Structure 1
Amino acid sequence: MEACQLCQGKIPLNESGRMMLFSSVPGVIRTLHRAFRRVQTEFTEENRLFVNYTAWMELQQHMEQIEKVLPEEEQESLRGSLISAEGNTYLPGNEFPIQQLREQIANPMFVKVIQEKLFQSYMQPVIDTKTGKPFGYEFLLRPNSKLYPFNPGELFAFSQRSGLQSMLDSQARINAIRTGAHMLERGTKRFINFLPSSIYDPRHCLQSTFKAVREYKVDPDDLVFEVVETEKIEDISHLQFIFDEYKKAGIRVALDDLGSGYSTVEVMEALQPDYAKIDRKLVQDCHLRPEKIEQIKQLKESAGKIGTLLLAEGIEKPEEYEAVKPIVDYVQGYFFGKPLIKPAKDQK
């Protein structure tokens, strides 16, 4: 199978190098060739333009020049990549739409964080309402270097804008699997987020995840892969395909934000996940809103019919916990513990 961008070489972050540009629209590359006449360039027979740069700021100026000379519709036809000064080899398939390349050039620190895996997994406890003890932990991405701080939400948003979401999503999954193997006892569930849009072909893209499961000798039944809250569920069949691949490997799956816009009861019934997390907005102050409790009961009834276990997340107050405790199977939130680098010892 042809390698995807995740499997190709790294994006060079050197101060000097070459930018390759290509367009299938006749004349676009020639227009750029003329625009960069004062810069050292190379125009090939394959209609590719190589533009040299000797500083990152110069590279950013090159991107500004492209915006000036090309109308928006012609910019949309452009693809490109960066090539280090040492190796002038162009790697087919390792090019990005110009909008994604622009994001990479504007945010080299985020690119470095993703490529060099400058992150670690923190763990937040998931509590069994019957025992009051941790049933498992959700793994959340955090910086591992003070020199390269980041907001996790901003990093994932950047990865989607820059075409690096597959790389980040895959490495975050592997990091969580490794951390769980070192930190948790067998039988403890590990909830790990994933972006459906980052998994183009589940049979191919999930191989690195399954390899990590084998390498770290993790029981697949201890893993729960969860659709992240920011992902809009637009292609149910694709998500079903991903869920099926996980289940074939003996891994559990979870649906997030049940009760919100995209994550409806109908979606839950179609996907039949092992676990479903109730939207935190529905949980917030539920002890003060009888209609919220009623809706949670309805979700529990629907989940029970298909064997899906229900989890209420975002609990921050003891009153919220007491209100949902008789209804749901599991709970999670700051009331029980913030995400920590090690499993919390004492629970409510």
Structure 2
Amino acid sequence: MDECGPVAHWKAAILEKKGQAKMRLKWEIESGGEAFVMSREGRAERTAILELLDSNALTSHFQPVFSSKDGSIFGYEALARLLFAENSPFMNIGDLFRKARELDVISSLDVLCREQAIKNASLMEIAERNAYLFINICPETCLDPAHSSGITDGLAEEWRIPKESIILEVTEESAIHNYNAFREALMYYRDRGYKIAIDDFGAGYGGLKMLSIIEPDFVKIDRHFISNIDKASIKANLVDSIVSACHRMGIKVIAEGIETGEELKVVQNMGIEFLQGFYLGRPSATLQPGDTKIPLFPARNGMNRRGEAIFIGDIASAVDTVPPSASVSYVFDRFIKNPELRGLPVVDEDRIVGMFNRIRFLENQVLGRYGYGMHLNSHKKIDQLMDRSFLLVEATTPLEEVAQRIHSRESEFLYDDICVTRSGKYFGTVAISKLLDAITEKSLALARGANPLSGLPGNESIQREISSRLSQGMHFDVCYFDIDHFKPYNDHYGFERGDMVIKSLAESLAELVNGEKDPFHFVGHIGGDDFILITRPQSSLLLSERAVSRFEAKRPEFHGEDYRRGFYVSANRKGEPEQFSLLSLSIGIVSTEVCRIESYAQLASIATEVKKAAKSRNGSSIVRDRRMEG
């Protein structure tokens, strides 16, 4: 390759950084000045780093990152490794980086690792696999004045890896003293097409601050929180909160450090998009496909039994795309030939890198300010003119979640088509009108089967919802609600008061679900005083406890003067007067994560037993099914 222009520039920058580091280290070794009182061990370490910066003693291993939705490989994380480690004074790569940081040559080492990662990934044809490349970078390098010299751009250009497929990981554990300068440095990369990830989120002390300032594309949750997450409810609740917050900001989440099948099940059920860990695939010197023999990822069918759309991919249209090298005149011809075309995606190597909205394109690029836009722009390449602010979602994102994310868009882009990917690759687009039609149809279908008293989805909708989730292999909890002694209450206070109690409970459950702003949750009215709530496995107990608290807080309204006495007298099933306690709730919880459930009928049968156990206790009670699979 002809080494001129930007390539020569970045190579010169690398050589300059290496030269500066070597000169400084040589001076330290030879002078033995006040700054460093060198032991024999310290001298050996500095000499080793000096030699390493000018040798081939570093290489990269690659660990796969999987899509949680379909099990495909989304990308590979490059991990620096020492060659000839047995002859090195450094115990491991972490030890090497600590010493380099102490000697203030971390930027030089970081650049060398970056070079190895990009080169080795290219030699193994990562671009041909349409996989993302995750590269760890040090904050010190980003803040180094030389960072803008185009080193990473030059490496990507020389080794022919699209910048749009490179994800730069910044560890949250690193101490950052100037967040504004750090954000500005990362924006330099983002403006050139790179994506940004926060690594080890939760391990340091500045995670939330970094999250709010950087606004990354990805967050990798630290392995501490993933380890034994199936056994530690505190970890599960913390991770669930992180995931919810990230999703509301449009940030995708990666769970790293997955080492067991149980941990995998938990993080999948939380809606975490991407997965990484020894259980799925170990780091390797080659791009390994991972252990595909393990049935980790159940097949998912996006349509329910009535053929109604559940996920955004169900209604996506595969619009023909344009490459970033296309001209403005070519895009103009596409819009003119298809009057119905509202949005045109720009795709490079199966990755969506930009978008054109019909109206804005015609106004800005064709007409222009004085009507000469087409004359001035016709031969320009579109990569500098396309919109980079577009809504990008995975095909398996629920319709309701997409609708929520639309509201966070800037008003200028509010009605732009939605870009849809499958495992990170272009899948299609969805017009806003089509999304609204699908949600409306789904709502009408629910309304047609709604309980007339509460307005909540009725039995038919409940069975359809549960059967659909079971067919998709999803893990969820089902909470069955029953009002204790409701018949004698109805007989004593009258049907009008009884209907008021049922409506009150229905409204309370609906408010709980709506307050969570999680489309995973579902509430339905089985009939009479029986209700159902479907939640994520980690949410069922908390939501049930909240439901009990709200219900009991309304007992003064339910019982009037009888509330002070703490009981009322009504006829029992034999027609005899009997003293009854105030209204309470019995809740039975069944988890498909604990026990393998094959059908709605099996689930209902187990629920009946669990709810019976709850009703055998005095007052409001919550009972979980504890039977294990097998």
TM-score normalized by structure 2? 0.40
Letter of the aligned partner of 1:289 in structure 2?
A
Q: 1:225 to 1:103 in 2, by over 3 A?
A: farther
Letter of the 1:344 counterpart: Q
Of 200, 216, 236, the residue aligned with 2:179 is 236
Residue 314 in structure 1 maps to residue 257 in structure 2: yes
Counterpart among 49, 54, 62 of residue 115 in structure 1:
54
Q: 1:323 — aligned with what?
A: 266
Shift in alpha-carbon separation, 1:209–1:103, aligned structure 2, 3 A: farther
Change in 2 beyond 3 A, CA 1:172/1:104: farther
**1:57-115 C-alpha deviation (Å, 9 max, x unpaired):** xx5xx63xx5xxxxxxxx35xxxxxxxxxxxxxxxxxxxxx579999734112321233
Q: Which residue of 2 aligns with 1:173?
A: 114
How do 1:42-191 residues align onto structure 2 when only pairs under 5 Å count?
Answer: 59=30, 63=32, 66=33, 75=34, 98=36, 105-107=43-45, 108-145=47-84, 148-149=87-88, 150=90, 151-183=92-124, 184-186=126-128, 187-191=130-134
* 1:285 has 2:234 as partner: no
Higher-Rg member (1/2): 2
**Displacement, 1:346?**
3.6
- Change over 3 Å in CA distance of 1:273–1:332 after alignment to 2: same
Measure, in 2, the Cα distance between the counterparts of 1:100 and 1:164: 17
- 1:15-60 per-residue CA deviation (whole Å, 9 max, x = no partner) reads xxx9758xxxxxxxxxxxxxxxxxxxxxxxxxxxxxxxxxx8xx5x
Query: Displacement of 1:209 after TM fit?
Result: 1.3
Kindly indicate whether structure 1 or structure 2 has the higher relative contact order, using CA contacts under 8 Å at least 6 residues apart: 1
Tell me how far apart the structure 2 counterparts of residues 104 and 248 of structure 1 sit (CA, whole Å): 41
* Aligned-residue offset at 1:272: 0.7
1:205 Cα deviation from its structure 2 partner: 4.5
- Cα distance between partner residues in 2 of 1:19 and 1:233: 29
Q: Which sits farther off after the overlay, 202-211 or 231-240?
A: 202-211
Residues 257, 277 of structure 2: 8 Å contact kept: yes
Q: Shift of residue 243 of structure 1?
A: 1.6
2: CA distance between counterparts of 1:244 and 1:315? 31
Size of the aligned set, in residue pairs, is 275
RMSD of the TM alignment (CA)? 3.1
Identify the residue that residue 46 of structure 1 maps to in structure 2.
none
Query: Residue 336 of structure 1 aligns to which amino acid in structure 2?
Result: L
Alignment partners' CA distance in 2, 1:19 and 1:346:
44
SS at match of 1:268: helix
Cα distance in 2 between the residues matched to 1:117 and 1:236: 34
* 1:337 pairs with one of 281, 294, 297: 281
Q: CA deviation at 1:228?
A: 3.0
Matched to 1:320, the amino acid is E
Contact 2:216–2:251 at 8 Å: present in 1 too? yes
What letter is aligned with 1:105? R
State how far apart, in whole Å, the 1-side matches of 2:38 and 2:218 are: 34
SS in 2 for 1:288: coil
Q: What secondary structure is seen at the aligned counterpart in 1 of 2:22?
A: coil
Q: Is the 8 A contact 2:67 2:275 kept in 1?
A: yes
Secondary structure of the structure 2 residue equivalent to 1:281? helix
The alpha-carbon deviation at position 121 of structure 1 amounts to: 0.5
With normalisation by structure 1, the TM-score equals 0.71
Letter in 2 for 1:226: E
- Deviation, structure 1 residue 279: 1.4
Change (3 A) 1:206 1:199: farther
Residue 22 of structure 2 is aligned to residue 8 of structure 1: no
Relative to 1, partners in 2 of residues 1:162 and 1:317: Cα closer, same or farther, differing over 3 Å? Answer: same
Q: CA deviation at 1:198?
A: 2.6
For residues 233-312 of structure 1, the aligned pairs below 5 Å read 233-312=176-255
Secondary structure of the residue that 1:303 maps to in structure 2?
A: helix
Segments of 5+ residues of structure 2 without an aligned counterpart are 1-8, 295-630
- Note closer, same or farther for the CA distance 1:20–1:336 as it changes in structure 2 (3 Å cut): closer
